[in-house]
Chains A and B, each alone.
Chain A
């Protein structure tokens, strides 16, 4: 556990399994392995070792034991061996066989309910016809004619008794016809359908029945037009007859069917409260599913000290996500209590449903919210950035060391390969510049010549190699292409890394010494440089072996910033030494002295960041050495060193806005108050709403915690440095309080009261600390 928390021990990448040395690439690892561990070639032992280490690491990481299945149990479980497959790992299988009876089912159902549906639909079509015209302004006789045309009326003579109640029809007990089915009943048994109900039924079914109604509609409309001409004449007599302006007479059975239909329609349209709330809840959950991963990505990056995302933005997002969580919580709580206070208390199943929805919402919040890592505070963030920078630097120096070695080896291999593949001419292992005249050597293409415009030597190199590859491809030398491509890939990796380093370097500069000191240093170094160059000139007369150089470069690169000048000297040494014949010291020195002047005004950021690579590159890559004669190439390295030697005013000035930005940010943040606590404290924290009595719960008056929104200390004394620091502590405190409260809530949900107690205790503790701090600062 402790080792996990210590970032110094977190190591990744190409670690040698035996000595845990960090090697930069696969090739390095391989060569390292060949060189260092060739004696213990007991593969089995190594694998065992590896397995054990992996297991240890796994256990450490996953905090779980019991994965000892890897090793046959000491008790003689010889059956646990490799080879077969754990049933858990069997390949995915498709869904098992299924058989649908739906069509069969529908066929039977259709036959059964056809009758019912047809009946209802018939009634509705008739109802529609009956209500299609303006009943109020139509003469009774005409209405009757229309009504009779819709459905043939049963003749009066056929029905002496009311079929429903059995009473005999007479003058007093008159016959009434159902307008929907034409049957006869007495007045008592007659039902009426109001127009609103009729309209409701017909309008709803219009869409679904349009196919049925359309053919019937046309005769109806003919009726209508005919009827319109007559209606005006006989309108007076209509008053005499009992007229149903807004009602339609029908029998009990028809009305029943229609009412059933209406009920179905109502059920379809009616949405209970729980459904509305539930829909909202699901919407919120979807939102969280979208936003949370984004935030986690941000927070992880920020907590690692990276500067890809802005802290402020992440804070906003956090607040937003938290608000959605609160909404989910509030909604689910509302669902939980829905109808609980009503008089006929809801059915136990309803209550169960509500409880389950609440439970699932709680599960959701627990799972997602607890995964929502906290953000570093402003101050922490700065620290993290620094730490990360240091880590990276440490790692880089180690890697560089390894890179030097392996590159050399790679080169050896490569050059050996190249020579074998080419004309068989054995080149020196030092990788003497490929003779340009040789047809087999690949030349950098024309774009490679524009190196002077290209400030980054790595990029140049990448260009070069791309052109080599092209040439090699054209020549059909596939093995060479492969080697080159590997080389290219490495370079690109290197370049990517360099880009990130660049960014880190930027931020690092911020924290460096004051400008004045630098200027003094610069003066000092300038003088030293001059002296060095003199020495260098002398030194270059005596060519040294590369191997020696390499060994000497290493210690310097461990502290590149402290001893850049000597580094430069060595770098130059390396440049010149392998080519004692061609590159005369005389031609070199003017290049060196001229270059700084030329590139002095060059983009500082670029030249600055190239420093480490520059020395590496010049010393390592065989292709570089071809470019030795090019002045620009020479210029680049001194230029780079130059910036290192003299972190010029321009550099710092360039970074100043950055710092100001940060300050502004800080100010903005202070002005806005605590982004973590603010949204929670003014709005009642949903986590606190739980009715569980808890000592010193935040909303209680007199609680120091409550004060924070109104008397935000950040607004008061944001300018005093030391106090601001304290308040950041306070901010952190508040944040922690929030977190712990979430856990209390969570623990309560799970019913672990002992945990709740511990947590509450901690919370109280925290609040005390907070109050004390507040007291101190006030």
Chain B
């Protein structure tokens, strides 16, 4: 169930199968991302892969002494490029791997192009998704839906990605989906269709309890992607943005040239692996320790190696020092930038109110706090807008809802039209009408008691009170209590036992906060393995883009119409 390992194994197998000798890896745009998530350059260099080329690059030279490993998505363009390549082969021998199911007719046209018999292998290796963490994958699709329905191209890509994931993990699951989302049902049906069509591929050793694929829709929980985050990975994504493990730091003031873009990968960065789920305060102290350690080892400018003992110590410490210096400078820069942004944007205060909006039900205090922050000049228009969005989502139906007043406040604060429009768009996207389950008020007795107790005890950390809705859903699922009327099975058969291997897929994108939740669930519930995936992994910014792309904001004015429409749909 480790998705990083699954993809890595595919890549390793490709390289292994091509035997010794200099190699070139031919990829397309997407597979480049897939490979780069699981292999570093130096790692892959050790396997004699020296060149990385894009199949669509025209400027490739004939190098008959190289073996070519082609890892491509089975798209029409790629097949065409490959046909051209085989007609005039540039490399001595070709090992061709498609990341998904390829049609027989494409195989035929490739075979007919291979007049010089340079192809030694044609296989399907199902590494057709971005493996972010062992329990987290993404398809890097932003804007998967038009309105409430799938963009057809994205639906087919998502189906491919999801079936590839199942194949790479060797799972043939039962499917449950979120009833309130049409898109979830559609995707479930598509996956099911592929499974029945490629039934011989999905014939794996039967496990006692069949694995489960749960398809959810982002619109059921629009709160989570709107919150500021305080754990390292999530925070970096929220404030700086992580794109295929890469972080663009070029906008950081006074950044040195080699730190413009840094890679944060838990696979080969020990500090990151140990700290990605810790909160900001802990990271601060850890980075301080890291730096102090580093300072101790760093040869000082004035330090003269006078005695032999000095030199010996220096020489022995050097390799460690060298290894550390890269890590230290990277993390110090990143954490430094994070803390700069936190103080610049007054994020601690903002986040406190955000959490209050998300987790508590005290309308008047919440409204007061939002209003207070809107007056604060340090609060950016982005943060101001998101506070109002959270307010709008939570107190949508509240009797004394004063959203219009807040929108006026936003305008007077000088927040741009774009963000003000997004407030209603977000409500349209994830408002109460759309949600299949209640996000804010607990339903069953246990949850109510829990909340009550929580209120008595007081909250331990105001910045991390929020639990993504996904936590509750998965908790119920693990305990076998997830209601079938809200999350029905696709097809007649149902699961009698509690599920063990669970794949959750969120249409419209997952978040790193949810990834942390799943990580914790994996750790706290023995015997259960959960993998989380999404069409993408959101921060607030990308989530708002997703909302924008769905095109819902245009209808926000005709809210009465929309209400009647959705009511009739139900």
**B311 touches which of A101, A275, A736 (Cβ 8 Å):** A736
The answer on a CB contact under 8 Å between B529 and A90 is: yes
Known pairs A88-B134, A100-B123; A93 contacts B1 (CB<8 A)? yes
Bound Cα distance from A154 to B313, whole angstroms: 89
Bound Cα distance from A747 to B298, whole angstroms: 13
Bound Cα distance from A63 to B324, whole angstroms: 10
Bound Cα distance from A723 to B313, whole angstroms: 25
User: Which residues of chain B come closer than 8 Å to A527, judged between CB atoms?
Assistant: none
The answer on a CB contact under 8 Å between A97 and B167 is: yes
* B165 nearest CB neighbor, chain A only: A96
Bound Cα distance from A353 to B312, whole angstroms: 38
Q: Mark B117-136, 1 if CB is under 8 A from A, else 0.
A: 10101111111000001110
Q: Mark B511-547, 1 if CB is under 8 A from A, else 0.
A: 0000000011111111011000000000000000000
The answer on a CB contact under 8 Å between B290 and A65 is: yes
Nearest-Cβ distance from residue A28 to partner chain B, whole angstroms: 35
**B123 touches which of A66, A99, A765 (Cβ 8 Å):** A99
Interface presence of A64 (CB below 8 A): yes
Nearest-Cβ distance from residue B168 to partner chain A, whole angstroms: 3
Contacts of A57-109 to chain B: CB distance below 8 A: 63-69, 73, 75-77, 79-88, 90, 92-102, 104-109
Interface presence of A165 (CB below 8 A): no
* B299 nearest CB neighbor, chain A only: A758
Most chain B CB within a 10 A radius of its CB, from A82, A94, A736: A736
User: Which residues of chain B come closer than 8 Å to A348, judged between CB atoms?
Assistant: 59, 61
Known pairs A99-B124, A105-B119, A109-B111; A371 contacts B274 (CB<8 A)? no
Interface presence of B51 (CB below 8 A): yes
**A752 touches which of B46, B325, B464 (Cβ 8 Å):** B325
The answer on a CB contact under 8 Å between A96 and B126 is: yes
User: Which residues of chain A come closer than 8 Å to B318, judged between CB atoms?
Assistant: 370, 743
Interface presence of B102 (CB below 8 A): yes
Bound Cα distance from A399 to B480, whole angstroms: 57
* A107 nearest CB neighbor, chain B only: B111
Chain A interface mostly = helix
The answer on a CB contact under 8 Å between B13 and A95 is: yes
Interface presence of B206 (CB below 8 A): no
The answer on a CB contact under 8 Å between B124 and A267 is: no
User: Which residues of chain B come closer than 8 Å to A373, judged between CB atoms?
Assistant: 316
Nearest-Cβ distance from residue A481 to partner chain B, whole angstroms: 39
Interface presence of B444 (CB below 8 A): no
How many residues of B are in contact with the other chain, CB < 8 A?
A: 104
Nearest-Cβ distance from residue A347 to partner chain B, whole angstroms: 4
Interface residues on A, range: 35 or more
Bound Cα distance from A85 to B119, whole angstroms: 43
User: Which residues of chain B come closer than 8 Å to A106, judged between CB atoms?
Assistant: 111
User: Which residues of chain B come closer than 8 Å to A275, judged between CB atoms?
Assistant: 22, 65
Known pairs A66-B271, A762-B299; A105 contacts B319 (CB<8 A)? no
Bound Cα distance from A68 to B274, whole angstroms: 8
The answer on a CB contact under 8 Å between A370 and B45 is: no
User: Which residues of chain A come closer than 8 Å to B306, judged between CB atoms?
Assistant: 765, 769
* A354 nearest CB neighbor, chain B only: B50
User: Which residues of chain B come closer than 8 Å to A108, judged between CB atoms?
Assistant: 107-108, 111-112
Nearest-Cβ distance from residue B55 to partner chain A, whole angstroms: 14
The answer on a CB contact under 8 Å between B281 and A75 is: yes
Interface presence of B569 (CB below 8 A): no
The answer on a CB contact under 8 Å between A353 and B50 is: yes
Known pairs A63-B320, A357-B50, A751-B258; A84 contacts B521 (CB<8 A)? yes
The answer on a CB contact under 8 Å between A83 and B275 is: no
The answer on a CB contact under 8 Å between B22 and A353 is: yes
Contacts of A93-127 to chain B: CB distance below 8 A: 93-102, 104-109, 112-113, 116
User: Which residues of chain A come closer than 8 Å to B312, judged between CB atoms?
Assistant: 736
User: Which residues of chain B come closer than 8 Å to A551, judged between CB atoms?
Assistant: none
Interface presence of B207 (CB below 8 A): no
User: Which residues of chain A come closer than 8 Å to B59, judged between CB atoms?
Assistant: 348-349
User: Which residues of chain A come closer than 8 Å to B278, judged between CB atoms?
Assistant: 66, 68-69, 73
User: Which residues of chain A come closer than 8 Å to B464, judged between CB atoms?
Assistant: 75-77
Interface presence of A133 (CB below 8 A): no
Most chain A CB within a 10 A radius of its CB, from B258, B296, B315: B315
User: Which residues of chain B come closer than 8 Å to A76, judged between CB atoms?
Assistant: 459-461, 464
Known pairs A76-B461, A112-B112, A765-B304; A87 contacts B122 (CB<8 A)? no
The answer on a CB contact under 8 Å between B522 and A85 is: yes
The answer on a CB contact under 8 Å between A350 and B275 is: no
Q: Which of B3-11, B423-431, B433-441 contacts A (4 or more CB under 8 A)?
A: B3-11
Nearest-Cβ distance from residue A776 to partner chain B, whole angstroms: 16
Interface presence of B301 (CB below 8 A): yes
**B526 touches which of A83, A102, A359 (Cβ 8 Å):** A83
**B523 touches which of A85, A364, A370, A752 (Cβ 8 Å):** A85
Bound Cα distance from A65 to B293, whole angstroms: 9
User: Which residues of chain B come closer than 8 Å to A97, judged between CB atoms?
Assistant: 126, 167-168, 170, 201-202, 204
* A347 nearest CB neighbor, chain B only: B61
User: Which residues of chain A come closer than 8 Å to B316, judged between CB atoms?
Assistant: 373
* A104 nearest CB neighbor, chain B only: B107
Bound Cα distance from A5 to B296, whole angstroms: 14
The answer on a CB contact under 8 Å between A356 and B123 is: no
Interface presence of B64 (CB below 8 A): yes
Known pairs A66-B275, A113-B115, A264-B116; A98 contacts B124 (CB<8 A)? yes
User: Which residues of chain A come closer than 8 Å to B110, judged between CB atoms?
Assistant: 105
The answer on a CB contact under 8 Å between B122 and A101 is: yes
Nearest-Cβ distance from residue A117 to partner chain B, whole angstroms: 9
Interface presence of B20 (CB below 8 A): yes
Most chain B CB within a 10 A radius of its CB, from A73, A92, A274: A73
Interface presence of A374 (CB below 8 A): yes
The answer on a CB contact under 8 Å between B50 and A729 is: no
The answer on a CB contact under 8 Å between A87 and B126 is: no
The answer on a CB contact under 8 Å between A80 and B523 is: yes
Known pairs A63-B320, A360-B50, A370-B319; A100 contacts B122 (CB<8 A)? yes
Bound Cα distance from A648 to B56, whole angstroms: 86
The answer on a CB contact under 8 Å between B520 and A79 is: yes
Bound Cα distance from A196 to B314, whole angstroms: 67
* A759 nearest CB neighbor, chain B only: B299
User: Which residues of chain B come closer than 8 Å to A94, judged between CB atoms?
Assistant: 170
The answer on a CB contact under 8 Å between A371 and B45 is: no
Nearest-Cβ distance from residue A306 to partner chain B, whole angstroms: 19
The answer on a CB contact under 8 Å between B301 and A758 is: yes
Interface presence of A503 (CB below 8 A): no
Known pairs A73-B278, A93-B6, A99-B201; A112 contacts B22 (CB<8 A)? no
The answer on a CB contact under 8 Å between A272 and B65 is: yes
Bound Cα distance from A360 to B167, whole angstroms: 34
Known pairs A5-B313, A79-B524, A353-B22; A96 contacts B167 (CB<8 A)? yes
Known pairs A75-B281, A84-B524, A108-B107; A729 contacts B308 (CB<8 A)? yes
Interface of B with A (CB < 8 Å)? 1-2, 5-6, 9-10, 13, 20, 22, 42, 45-46, 50-51, 53, 59-61, 63-66, 92, 101-102, 104, 107-108, 110-112, 114-117, 119, 121-127, 133-135, 167-170, 201-202, 204, 258, 270-271, 273-275, 277-279, 281-283, 285-286, 289-290, 293, 296, 299-301, 304-306, 308, 311-316, 318-320, 322, 324-325, 459-461, 464, 519-526, 528-529
**Pairs A-B, 3 closest by C-beta atoms:** A76-B460, A108-B111, A96-B168
Interface of A with B (CB < 8 Å)? 1, 5, 63-69, 73, 75-77, 79-88, 90, 92-102, 104-109, 112-113, 116, 264, 267, 271-272, 274-275, 278, 282, 347-350, 352-353, 356-357, 359-360, 363-364, 370-371, 373-374, 729, 732-733, 736, 739-740, 743, 746-747, 750-752, 755, 758-759, 761-762, 765-766, 769
Q: List 19 A-B contacts (CB under 8 A).
A: A66-B278, A66-B283, A75-B461, A76-B460, A79-B523, A85-B522, A86-B522, A87-B134, A101-B123, A112-B114, A275-B22, A349-B60, A353-B66, A740-B311, A743-B315, A743-B322, A752-B325, A762-B305, A766-B305
Q: A96-B167, A105-B107 are in contact. List 12 more A-B contacts (CB 8 A).
A: A75-B279, A76-B464, A84-B524, A90-B529, A93-B5, A96-B169, A97-B167, A349-B51, A352-B51, A736-B312, A743-B322, A765-B304
